Chain A
Amino acid sequence: MMNALRLEARLSDHDRLYDAFIRMHDGLSEAESQKASAKLVLLLANHIGEPEVILEAIERVRADMGDGSD
């Protein structure tokens, strides 16, 4: 059976994680920051290991961004 993207709350320690997300960018230029975020996604994608799940997340993000006119 193919797994769907899990949308129920699963994490703990949100504030510590968020802080780490932000600190990951300390001292980086904007272009470097974009690269850092991409590297993070790539590592997490590998950890998830299920292409369909990742593709569903991509679709959701794209829908949430609207038409890009923001």
Chain B
Amino acid sequence: MPAARRTFPFVTPPEVETGRTAEVPITIVGAGPVGLSAALDLAARGQRVLLLDRDDVVSDGSRAICIAKRTLEISDRLGIGERLLEKGVKWNVGRVFFRDQEVYHFNLLPVDAQKFPAFVNIQQYYWEEYLIDRIADEPLIDLRWKNEVTGVEQDENGVTLSVETPAGGYRVRAEWVIAADGAHSPMRAMLGLDFQGRIFEDHFLIADVRFKHEHPDERWFWFDPPFNPGQSALMHKQPDDVWRLDFQLGWNIDREEAVKPENVTPLVRGMLGPDVEFEYEWISIYTFQCRRLERFLHDRVIFAGDAAHLVSPFGARGANSGVQDIDNLGWKLDLVMRGAAPRDLLESYDHERVQAADENILNSTRATDFITPKTPVSRAWRDAVLELARTHEAIRPFINSGRLSTPKIYEDSPIETPDAPGEFTPDMKPGSPALDAPVRLADGSDGWLLEQLGERFQALVFVSGTAMAEGMAKALAATGEEKAAIEPLFVLPAGISPSGLEAHAVVDRDGLVAERYQGRAGTVYLLRPDQHVAARMRHFEPAALRRARDRAMGRG
């Protein structure tokens, strides 16, 4: 029935035989999308990583399924963005049904002219496989399957892990440990950490089914459908003619009975129609919680992804926010380990990603409350919205079938430099992720702005011509600092050739970079290595850029 999941060989770690302690700068626990992405991110910065997973197989079933634009952009930096885009199903239209009628449909209308769409759908196992394939080419990453962490101790200088394998145990000594070991995080349990928030008393059934019926690539959501009365249901397309179907089941059910195909089939038939031929790829049942750790930073153990925060699935905010944790953490940890930034910089990871987790928890809690009303009065209000929305467009924004994941714009971050009053509108303010736009490269080929950004501090500088850029490049080079140089990326207006310019430059061929960044000659954005805006100003001043860079590095 299910497609074969790729498994990976267990190799006896040398330390099991020698009895020595494995010494590595960074150990990551958990090889899901978050741990795998973390390993690639840190290796790209030149860090050696040990990645431990207690299993030896990729995820079963669709699981995370919806990958958001920001996660695709990060994955592109890690080398798998285009593979995800090529394999994944693109969708823009969502339809919402109430009982047996369509209430309305929406179009995600992704911002035109960006490399990646708002979402692609893909089974989590493909996502993991692509990351694992990349890791195979990365000599700095030592990925060990069937290596289970069973003990954690830490002191001022590092963390000691006890690891069990089928061939015996050994110990690991690391300067830093990233705990990306998932919703049930054994690391969290071993450190005795509290996990605060709400647990929802509800079950959802997932059926991944394969069928070859003509059906548009759209997200369909039902409130109280005839085939699952009083509950909700969701249908999503995946690659390989696999459809992800979710059915709300309620709280008082027999879980073992509920996943038996004879009990699932009536629901599937009700949704797809009586004559559709299908086969099951995966059936599972889940409950959900909206909870997080109070802090993500526990001395030298850093939590990321589901191990740090859990959300209900509505809005695709789980794995997406986990990868965005990694995007935020990687450069900071790298700079701290190189001695370029103070350890305090990591506090900004806690600040920014706790804030992101709270936004995700708020959105997914509200969606859950709308989708699964728990009292007669909340059901009456919910149904009132759905009924009235059929004929009253203005009421439709109250319908909440999940607010789809968008990247966090960090607020009041200790490492951002606020705008000077009146210089910019709030769009793209400090804390925002850089927005993509089409550009022409120095060699005349077409590319994307975001492909030119990331992994280092960069000044995106709008100039009127090459002479202006030459002077600025010299001024910036004079501020040189090896470990955290600010590299300029000049944006030239359409029609001006960057030929002869030694500095890195792009041509704003459609004027969209200037439009999206409110750019005019002299405008400069300082971008962090994770492509978030650290500061922006209307006048190019190397000293001001340096101050903003120092602030972005936690130098106070």
Contact = CB atoms under 8 A, between A and B. Distances in A.
A3 to B, nearest CB: 16
Contact of A25 (B363, B375, B387, B396): B375
B317 to A, nearest CB: 14
Contacts of A60: 392
Interface string B537-549: 0000000000000
Given A15-B403, A18-B400, A19-B369, A8 B381 contact: no
B394 A7 contact: yes
The size class of the interface chain B forms with chain A is 20 to 34
Nearest to A60: B392
Given A9-B393, A64-B387, A64-B391, A18 B377 contact: no
B251 to A, nearest CB: 19
Contacts of A33: 377
B223 interface: no
A10 B391 CA distance: 16
B369 A11 contact: no
A22 B366 CA distance: 10
Contacts of B388: 61, 64
A14 B381 CA distance: 13
B366 to A, nearest CB: 5
Interface in B388-416: 388, 391-394, 396-398, 400, 403
A18 B370 contact: yes
Chain A residues touching B, majority SS? helix
| B381, B385, B388, B396 — most chain A CB neighbours (10 Å) | B381
Contact of B381 (A11, A15, A22, A28): A22
B369 A22 contact: yes
A18 B381 CA distance: 9
Contacts of A25: 375, 377-378
Contacts of A14: 397-398, 400
Contacts of A17: 398
A30 interface: yes
Contacts of B381: 18, 21-22
A9 B370 CA distance: 20
Contacts of B370: 18
A7 B392 contact: yes
Given A25-B375, A30-B377, A19 B366 contact: yes
Chain B residues touching A, majority SS? helix
Interface residues of A, number: 20
A68 B376 CA distance: 18
Nearest to A29: B377
Contacts of B391: 64
Interface string B338-371: 0000000000000000000000000100100110
Contact of B377 (A28, A64, A65): A28
B404 to A, nearest CB: 13
Contacts of B375: 25
A22 B392 contact: no
A61 B370 CA distance: 21
Interface in A23-61: 25, 28, 30, 33, 60-61
A60 B28 CA distance: 59
A8 to B, nearest CB: 6
Interface string B139-173: 00000000000000000000000000000000000
Contacts of A22: 369, 377-378, 381
Nearest to A65: B387
A60 B391 CA distance: 10
Contacts of B403: 15
A10 B366 contact: no
Nearest to A9: B394
Nearest to B365: A19
Interface in B439-483: none
A7 B385 CA distance: 15
Contacts of B387: 64-65
Contacts of A8: 394
A65 B387 CA distance: 8
Contacts of A21: 381
| B376, B397, B400, B403 — most chain A CB neighbours (10 Å) | B397
Contacts of B396: 9
Given A25-B375, A25-B377, A64-B387, A18 B398 contact: yes
A15 B400 contact: yes
A18 B377 CA distance: 13
A59 B318 CA distance: 44
A19 B396 CA distance: 15
Interface of B: 363, 366, 369-370, 375-378, 381, 385, 387-388, 391-394, 396-398, 400, 403
30 contacts: A7-B393, A7-B394, A9-B393, A9-B394, A9-B397, A10-B394, A11-B394, A14-B400, A15-B363, A15-B400, A15-B403, A17-B398, A18-B366, A18-B381, A18-B385, A18-B400, A19-B366, A19-B369, A21-B381, A22-B377, A22-B381, A25-B375, A25-B378, A28-B377, A30-B377, A60-B392, A61-B388, A64-B387, A64-B388, A65-B387
Cβ-closest 6 pairs across A and B: A9-B394, A33-B377, A14-B397, A25-B377, A15-B366, A14-B398
Given A7-B393, A14-B400, A64-B391, 19 more contacts: A9-B394, A9-B396, A9-B397, A10-B394, A11-B397, A15-B366, A15-B400, A18-B370, A18-B381, A18-B400, A19-B366, A21-B381, A22-B378, A22-B381, A28-B377, A30-B376, A30-B377, A33-B377, A61-B388
